[in-house]
Amino acid sequence: MNANHHESSDLSRPRITLRGPAELADALPFVLGFHPTDSVVLVALHGEHGRFGGRVRLGIPRSPREWASTADHLAECLVEGGERSGSRPDGIVVFLCQDPAAGETGRRVMERLRPFAQRLRTACGALDIPVYEALCISDGLYFSYCCPDARCCPPDGTPLALSGTTVMAATAAYAGVQVRGSLRDMERRFQPSGGPREEEQRTALDASAAEIVPRILESAEDEGRAEVRETTLRLARAVLRRFVNPTGETGRAGRTAAPTAPRTSGASTAESDAADDALVGTGEAAALIIGLQDRATRDRAAEWMEGWEGTAALRLWRVLARRCVAPYQEHAAAPLTLAGWTAWSTGDEPTARVALGLALDIDPEYVFARLLHQACNEGLDPESLRSCLRTERDSRLASDQAASGPAPRARMRVARPESSRQTLRKPGRRTGGAERRSSAGVRPGGPAASKPGSGSPRHGGHRGSRSGR
């Protein structure tokens, strides 16, 4: 199991007192930002009054043989995260959330997961941290593994409160905390939906791989790669503007109109995603997906992280992730990671964690995703990386101006700080065989090689076509 497939964060929410298992179960979606499905969640408690702290989330392993190692892993992640932030948990609350299978009841789910709940309790106890409550949430009911009082927690379960009727819901609404549907629904927005156009997209990906990969591999002195990079970025910029001004009209000086509002709420989510898909042709999507496998191209695209660019880029990266049809699924790691970075940069941490988690599901060793996931989980400020990207962009533009003979005033801006990259890299511990750094050390490039792997392209996007991570 990859150590990165968890989520943790320090929570800053308005203060509210939760009394009993019912209010704990009701609070969980507001703590996470979505309704967890098929998930185990551990939430740290601090102080005499049990203030919520960090939390970790992971998909429930399908095999019971993995439950013991998963329990140990989650407990260690939660405790280590608290210790790094200077606040070791005083207690833990455990949630097991899983929908019943066909012909299964919520109580049956609870009984089936009971050994896992017990293993989680002993794993936390081994670290000298008690589990104050362990709940199973299934089929609209919650069950307590800790409360022996049938009057409070009957064995057949207790119905969850109606959405929006609790004190927690009212407080969250007042504070502007948004619950973005279920985890499954959020993941679906980044995954191919199937349909008759899938074969057309696969054919376009085959053609783009056959055209682009040889130009990267066979050209001398990186000339081919540089040409592909600029072509990919020009196409991406052109497509990006469609998400701001779908009609293609421009105002003075070629500027696009004001950005359209993001369309991601409620029942219109599927319709808005379909409208976004219509803005990108199959050939364009294929060229962008293959082109973004180049690490430097992906890092340049990460500069679209703020304002209208950030809003439009998140929608574009979602489209490209959905276009990574079989057998090109692993190519989705690049657009998923860009989506995670853009969401985190624009303040949408739940979406960022979902996108980065999917990227790591596809490629557990994708360095950019691992570093971003760790930084996001530890509650660090993305401004450090934003500042780094701004500096690199400004330095590149200034260098380009200097090379083309800029005015003296422009030359004054060619102050390319030698230490800008070094100061953003800090040594960190090694986990799972890969180096992990704090967000101050996050840099999109990662330690991947600067040239793509060898070998000729084949159907399905041979890994040799991917240049670095």
Q: Does residue 176 surpass a pLDDT of 80? A: no
Q: What is the pLDDT of residue 128?
A: 94
Q: What is the pLDDT of residue 379?
A: 73
State how far the Cα of 350 lies from the Cα of 18, in Å rounded to an integer: 23
Q: What is the pLDDT of residue 405?
A: 63
Residue length of the chain: 469
pTM over 0.85: no
Q: Does residue 205 surpass a pLDDT of 50? A: yes
Summarize the confidence of residues 140-166 as an average pLDDT: 85
Q: Name residue, tokens 């657009």.
A: 335
Q: Does residue 13 surpass a pLDDT of 60? A: no
Q: What pLDDT digit, counting tens, does each position of 242-279 carry?
A: 998 755 443 333 333 344 444 444 447 889 999 999 99
State how far the Cα of 426 lies from the Cα of 39, in Å rounded to an integer: 33
451 confidence band (pLDDT: 50, 70, 90): very low
Q: What is the pLDDT of residue 15?
A: 61
Output the average pLDDT for the chain: 79
Summarize the confidence of residues 165-173 as an average pLDDT: 61
Residues 6+ apart with CB under 8 A from 373: 4, 340, 353, 356, 357, 360
State how far the Cα of 375 lies from the Cα of 439, in Å rounded to an integer: 5
Number of Cβ within 10 Å of residue 360's Cβ equals: 24
Task: Give the torsion through C-alpha atoms of 23, 64, 360, 457, to 10 deg.
Answer: -150
Q: What pLDDT digit, counting tens, does each position of 221-237 carry?
A: 577 888 999 999 999 99
171 confidence band (pLDDT: 50, 70, 90): low
Q: Does residue 455 surpass a pLDDT of 50? A: no
